[in-house]
Structure 1
Amino acid sequence: MTGTRFRNKGQFTTPLSIAALGLVWMIAAALTADPQILPGPFQLIAPMRQELASGELLYHLGSTLRRVFWAFVLAMTFGLILGLVMGRFPRVDRWLDPWLVIFLNLPALVLIVLCYLWIGLTETAAILAVTLNKIPNVATVVREGARALDPELDAMARVYRLPAWVRLRHVVLPQLAPFVAAAARSGVAVIWKIVLVVEFLGRSSGVGFQIHLYFQLFDVTMVLVYALSFIGVMLLVEWVLLQPWERRVRRWRNA
């Protein structure tokens, strides 16, 4: 009963928090009293409708979402494999740990610039730069999960001579699921920010490209239109897909 009451309160907390943020924004815009510096929330409606009607907003949102999707899939796949191997095999972990530390501390901007210099201003370079920036973070989280696997469950699976794939599917991955979910949630938040930087520096489409364009024109309104449109899409992904998935994979811990 208490849990249900808490969830019901949580359902109202999010919209109230966003409404409070909007109120702060309106007060700041009123105090500034200059739409060219900080337009109010309602002043973005007309230009956003115009961009939607022209198709520009949807086109650039689609380009950015495509890059986010491929970078996310590649980073999660390779990061999961790397983290699992490092967590399960101490010798491999000792060998690769310095590499992981170096890439964790390598600035994202450096990798982006190097990928563009080595490969060119191409879609492959853009997605590769974002993927390389995120793999170390995913690998680190998954490695900690692999280290925390229950050895007794693993021993039971070996006693029953379960095939490697079955052991991975029914013993290892269920225990890793909360760590993978955490890596996925943080991954989406980091990846889309890096994608915007990649587009800002070297692409001819996407939200980052449009922000760069309107930055050069000193158009704060259009910068906010594109930024908030994409933030809205990513919040929708977070609330509709990632958070429910994370709650689902954590249910067994509360059972």
Structure 2
Amino acid sequence: MQGTPEARQTISTGATTGLSIAALLLLWIVAAALTDDAQVLPQPWALIQPFLRELTSGELLYHLGATLLRVIWAFSLAMLAGCALGLVMGRYPRVNQWLDPWLVIFLNLPALVLIVLCYLWIGLNETAAILAVVFNKIPNVATVIREGARALDPQIDAMAKVYRMSGWARLRHVTVPQLAPFITAAARSGIAVIWKIVLVVEFLGRSSGVGFQIHLYFQLFDVAMVLVYAFSFIVVMLMVEWLVLQPWERHVRRWRAE
């Protein structure tokens, strides 16, 4: 029994992913052997003991949880605000003319500047940390959704008006399904950027989280612990990518295969 084409495709993709990660791991081993200095680049197995120590002490889970909570808040707020802004700009050219210069400015404003300004204006607190990430991501989301709003089929919109659909029903059944691929693209790129900015925010001004721990061990010149915390959170975000975002993307694109 060979299984369905979808199952074979999933197995093939999984095998390719596994081989790719194995090749990256082999490259790491070779680079560490050539360096021959654990303080510069330790071997992968040298991270097992410090990882288990941080895990059993509860420190790793505590800081992973703090960072993940900030990522969830920042991602949710940035997606909601960015989608609303992008939809309005894409549907109303006059609004787009006014707001497009703002969008260009914020797209080119360095993330570090917004982070520092939020800390200076609001203070070294959670509100400033999350808003700094949100303000950095909203322009990117809005840009993607704006292009999706411009690509909406006017004939489908006209049909919705003929059937006298309410504004909420039109948004739910006409607009959002057409925007789904663009929302997915914004979400996938957004989660990848947001968690990196969150680490910078924690590095500069928080007392918990993966970024804070990386800052701590950077000051101690402990490369192994920096890698332990970095790779631990990378694994978490890869699980989010593989278990949430990729299945969601396949779901919203399923109609193309029909």
Query: TM-score scaled to structure 1, two decimals?
Result: 0.98
The residue identity in structure 1 corresponding to 2:136 is N
Measured in 2, the distance between the counterparts of 1:24 and 1:250 equals 35
- 1:188 equivalenced with 2:191 (yes/no): yes
The residue identity in structure 2 corresponding to 1:183 is A
Residues 139-175 of structure 1, C-alpha deviation per residue, up to 9 Å, x if partnerless? 0000000000011000000011111110110000000
1:112 equivalent among 109, 115, 118: 115
Query: What secondary structure is seen at the aligned counterpart in 2 of 1:205?
Result: coil
Match of 2:207 in 1: 204
Alignment of 1:45-124 (within 5 A): 45-124=48-127
Residues 11-56 of structure 1, C-alpha deviation per residue, up to 9 Å, x if partnerless? 2000111011101101111111111110011110000000001100
The residue identity in structure 1 corresponding to 2:249 is E
Alignment of 1:88-167 (within 5 A): 88-167=91-170
The residue identity in structure 1 corresponding to 2:221 is F
Measured in 2, the distance between the counterparts of 1:11 and 1:86 equals 39
Measured in 2, the distance between the counterparts of 1:163 and 1:3 equals 38
The residue identity in structure 2 corresponding to 1:53 is T
- 1:250 equivalenced with 2:214 (yes/no): no
Match of 2:236 in 1: 233
Measured in 2, the distance between the counterparts of 1:6 and 1:184 equals 24
Measured in 1, the distance between the counterparts of 2:242 and 2:173 equals 27
The residue identity in structure 1 corresponding to 2:46 is Q
Measured in 2, the distance between the counterparts of 1:186 and 1:134 equals 10
Measured in 2, the distance between the counterparts of 1:144 and 1:68 equals 25
Measured in 1, the distance between the counterparts of 2:35 and 2:247 equals 39
Match of 1:36 in 2: 39
Match of 2:21 in 1: 18
Stretches (4+) displaced over 2 A: 1-8
CA RMSD of aligned residues (A): 1.0
The residue identity in structure 2 corresponding to 1:32 is T
Identity in percent: 75
- Matched positions, count: 255
Query: What secondary structure is seen at the aligned counterpart in 2 of 1:149?
Result: coil
Q: Any unmatched runs of 5+ in structure 1?
A: none
| Structure 1 residue 253: Cα displacement | 2.5
Query: What secondary structure is seen at the aligned counterpart in 2 of 1:77?
Result: helix
The residue identity in structure 1 corresponding to 2:161 is R
The residue identity in structure 1 corresponding to 2:211 is G
